Amino acid sequence: MEFPRSKLPDVGTTIFTIVSRRARELGALNLGQGFPDYDIDPRLAEWVGRAMRDGHNQYAPMEGLMELREAIARKLARVYGLKVDPHSEITVTLGATEAIYCGIQALVGPGDEVIAFDPAYDSYEPAVRLAGARCIRLPLTQPDFRYDWDRVRKAVNARTRLILFNSPHNPACTAAMPADLDELAAAIRPYDIAVLSDEVYEHMVFDGRAHASVLGHPELRERSLAVFSFGKTLHATGLRVGYGVAPAQLTGELRKVHQFNTFSIAHPLQQAIAAYLTENPDTGRDLPGFFQAKRDRLRAALAGCGFSLPPAQGTFFQLLDFSGLCPPGDAAFAELALTEAKVATIPLSPFYADPPELSVVRLCIAKRDETLERAAERLAELAGRLGRAGA
């Protein structure tokens, strides 16, 4: 008899953890797991120190510090023109991942179906299964990762309880268009279906596009839990502070789970983020330009070396297409890049229930310019070797 009996027998350690560990062991440049390698704003660090010195060291309110929820409501008003009630519609969570996990536990159970789009971020399906529900994985189209709305309409039914939406999309680097939100709203209209929208890359949308949040879509707003991340916005993924925004009833259900999961989030961090946002009410405004410049720097450094670079509309990633240089197989290519070029990348196949043949890996652009340049040099050199070997 197997002991303990696994609830997730086919789940291993996440690809991010594995790749970061191996990058450390091999001394590789880590363009795998998505996190910045540059400093945060020192003012944020000062606020964290001050919050602890000022005694904000005991439990924060379960829903999140009111000052922080008010700062979030002001940001939602400024950026999206939304009126959100900080009392009943905003919950501070341990990163976006906790909001996603608790949202799923709160909304689905045995017999329910949840739709996710492949490639799907790796935490979605395990959370659905731990809730006892079934995750239906619908692939985005190849090679441009668009939604097949016909397929979505055919997949939804009376058992469907939740759709997991993600824009800007990790790892596809696409951004949903307002028409996608209309299609989504129309697809779920006949049923009692909620939307959990992972929008952690809301400020990383490029080329003059605006982020299309479900919160800005009046029909979806009524049925959605939208999830955001201070780790991404403040360049500090180790903060593990995020939040969920949903109508009062849905928020109530989310909080029922959140209160028994993490209960409440690090008080000094919430205090510090609230103070920082009050001091810098425009936080996030410079991020599209900042990350677009990173994307463009990496693209320019890799131009003409044999890889192709699919369009990256958003997120802090860029896909690298190696189909001109070696046969399909993203895991094998990622291994080659890691061991031969000493550049860690993330293959996309772990984000699929049923991976197609893939010739792309994901590179993180949230890195110092010199890290991006060095990684590009190494990848270009690898491309040169592969090109010669293939010639």
Of 117, 145, 143, the residue nearest 323 (C-alpha): 143
- Residue 198 C-beta: closest distance to ligand GLN, Å: 10
How many residues interact with ligand GLN (rule CB under 6 A)? 5
- Residue 57 C-beta: closest distance to ligand GLN, Å: 27
Residues 6+ apart with CB under 8 A from 13: none
Tell me which H or E stretch contains 249: helix 248-261
Would you count residue 126 as binding ligand GLN (CB under 6 A)? Answer: no
The single residue among 29, 30, 33, 266 that binds ligand GLN, judged by CB under 6 A, is 33
- Residue 360 C-beta: closest distance to ligand GLN, Å: 15
DSSP E strand boundaries for 207-350: 224-229, 242-245, 317-321, 343-344, 346-347
Burial class (CB in 10 A: 0-12, 13-18, 19+), 149: middle
Within positions 267 to 286, which residues make up the interface with ligand GLN, using CB under 6 A?
none
Would you count residue 16 as binding ligand GLN (CB under 6 A)? Answer: yes
Pick between residue 86 and residue 350 the one whose CB is nearest to ligand GLN: 350
Pick between residue 18 and residue 353 the one whose CB is nearest to ligand GLN: 18
- Residue 350 C-beta: closest distance to ligand GLN, Å: 11
Neighbours of 119 (CB within 10 A): 26
The single residue among 23, 28, 29, 34 that binds ligand GLN, judged by CB under 6 A, is 34
Pick between residue 271 and residue 318 the one whose CB is nearest to ligand GLN: 318
Pick between residue 174 and residue 271 the one whose CB is nearest to ligand GLN: 174
Q: 215 and 82 in contact (C-beta within 8 Å)?
A: yes
Report how far apart, in Å, the C-alpha atoms of 93 and of each of 69, 230, 254 are. Answer: 11, 10, 10
- Residue 31 C-beta: closest distance to ligand GLN, Å: 10
Within positions 155 to 174, which residues make up the interface with ligand GLN, using CB under 6 A?
170
- Residue 100 C-beta: closest distance to ligand GLN, Å: 11
Of 235, 214, 251, the residue nearest 243 (C-alpha): 251
Pick between residue 307 and residue 351 the one whose CB is nearest to ligand GLN: 351
| Rg of the chain over all Cα atoms, to the nearest angstrom | 21
Separation of alpha carbons 323 and 10, rounded Å: 29
- Residue 97 C-beta: closest distance to ligand GLN, Å: 7
- Residue 170 C-beta: closest distance to ligand GLN, Å: 5
List the strands of the sheet with 360-364, edge to edge.
Answer: 317-321, 360-364, 346-347
Separation of alpha carbons 253 and 259, rounded Å: 10
72: which DSSP letter?
H
Pick between residue 34 and residue 103 the one whose CB is nearest to ligand GLN: 34
Separation of alpha carbons 252 and 310, rounded Å: 41
Pick between residue 14 and residue 259 the one whose CB is nearest to ligand GLN: 14
Would you count residue 233 as binding ligand GLN (CB under 6 A)? Answer: no
Pick between residue 71 and residue 338 the one whose CB is nearest to ligand GLN: 338
Would you count residue 290 as binding ligand GLN (CB under 6 A)? Answer: no
Would you count residue 14 as binding ligand GLN (CB under 6 A)? Answer: yes
Positions that interact with ligand GLN (CB under 6 A): 14, 16, 33-34, 170
